[in-house]
Structure 1
Amino acid sequence: MSIINTKIKPFKNTAFKNGEFIEITEKNVEGKWSVFFFYPADFTFVCPTELSDMADHYEDFQKLSVEIYSVSTDTHFTHKAWHNFSKTISKVRYAMIGDPSGTMTRNFEVMREIEGLAERASFIVDPQGIIQSIEITAEGIGRNASDLIRKIKAAQYIAKHPMEVCPAKWQEGDITLTPCLDLVGKI
């Protein structure tokens, strides 16, 4: 059963952000757009390229009033060590949430139970805490921050214009569609 259009479940985790450990709960995401960016593990191969891409676009997310939360089943201590050790990860300014118990990963239904690792998954969450978009890819397929930004812009647009929808390849400023009987079969 999909968790799209459902409210995120309560969680309480410790994250590493800007040189310190902070507590993050579902209350932190209320009232603003958020992205939960799950990945399998620190000190791996595809994961640092994805976190780096997100870091390179962090200002773009901030301009959209979107906060980024990366999540893995590593501890917040491991996140700090990775941040301190890796030149690539040292540029990350968003929260790196540790989920060693796997509770948060299970709440989002992306736990690989046999391995104890998160799937490679992204969730766009609206200011009411409702999941608006889910993307899950296989282990070897990295995600793209630019496409995630496009999806956020579309989600924010339809939140402000509930009678419209964004077609395939929609970019900010493009024409949207207004579903109606007269439009059926004419696209």
Structure 2
Amino acid sequence: MGDDEILDEFRASEALLEGHFILSSGRHSPVFLQKMRVFQYPDRTERLCRALAAAITAKFGRIDMVVSPAMGGIIPGYETARALACPAVFVEREDGAFKLRRGFRIPAGGRVVMVEDIVTTGLSSRECLAAIREHPGELVGAACLIDRSNGRAEVGVPLVSLLRLDVPDYAADDLPPDLAAIPAEKPGSRDLKA
């Protein structure tokens, strides 16, 4: 899949948004990728994740398990694992930290890749990778559908992305005037309350 084909999946799903957005990292951006609008379409999600699985295999070889962070990583993790013909599990927050729960286990010696939806600063990825390292298994790397940092985010392991974008993001106290003039929206799920 080429870059234009990948972006076309987001555009066709009305998932490439422009305005003023507060990202899950707390940074502000004029562009937001509402990946859940893409994930509502199984055929689009399958195409993207099949391409990601091919990139993972090309970089890391055989994979025995995919681990993803909840919430946004569950669907692409599952669909990528399906293309890799391996199990998919996820970590979720417990007392503020990612943990494997629900009886999920990483097998000793199993080759594990962490699959994320979108990387901006790499914080969620680093937190997920820290949780994976608490278990046996060989952590071979990480993968994401879109790397918004254009390769600048450090996750601590090799990162494969289906698409790299150079999307600007800013600290809340350092907004350009045109962005500051637009009311901010927070469309992500990180801080949702029950």
| Structures share fold, TM-score greater than 0.5 | no
Q: TM-score, normalised by structure 1?
A: 0.29
